[in-house]
Amino acid sequence: MCLFGNARLMFRLAFRQPFAAEVAPLTGRGPGSNLALFDPYLRSTCKPLRPGVRLRLKSWLGITMKPELKLRAIKTVHTLVWAVFAASILAIPVFSHRGELPVAWGLTGFVFLEVLVLVANRMRCPLTSVAARYTAERQDNFDIYLPLWLARHNKEVFGGLYVAGIVYTIWVSVHAAT
């Protein structure tokens, strides 16, 4: 079983995205059973949904999430992810100054992966699109727990700090080699 695949599946179930599986009793085995949801091989062989049928978290666990709770969960996850990347950007020059260049370059690469995700999504976080399904609000901070001014200028502020951190790390790397 794939643990990451199961986490992704639970996320899809929680936010009611369609999934190609027939809902069957939990005791069943095979492509039509709910046990197939957690087995990658069985998931790939599941029957397609009938038109208009969607697998819902509440039908499987008996739990219903209101759109406000879903939005709050998305905003919380988005804020935590943002905090990890913001801390990584701020830590790059700190580790460079301390002479821990492998850590600084590792953080630079880690943040660069996020930059690639943003570029692939037309400079929008993928969670913004998910959050947009649950509210009509479109302020700059509708999808994250940040002050409006920071959410509005987030890319400029942290992009500048990221570039400055890279330049400083290059400078330290060149001077450490001499």
Which tens digits make up the pLDDT trace of 120-167?
999 999 999 999 999 999 999 999 999 999 999 999 999 999 999 999
Which tens digits make up the pLDDT trace of 85-114?
999 999 999 999 999 999 999 999 999 999
Let me know: does 14 contact 66? Beta carbons within 8 Å.
no
Query: In this predicted structure, what is the pLDDT of residue 20?
Result: 42
* Close Cβ partners of 73 (under 8 Å, ≥ 6 residues apart): 14, 65
Which tens digits make up the pLDDT trace of 47-89?
444 554 444 444 444 567 888 999 999 999 999 999 999 999 9
pLDDT at residue 28 is higher than 80: no
Q: Where are the domains of the chain?
A: 3-61, 67-177
Higher pLDDT pick, 41 / 132: 132
Query: In this predicted structure, what is the pLDDT of residue 3?
Result: 45
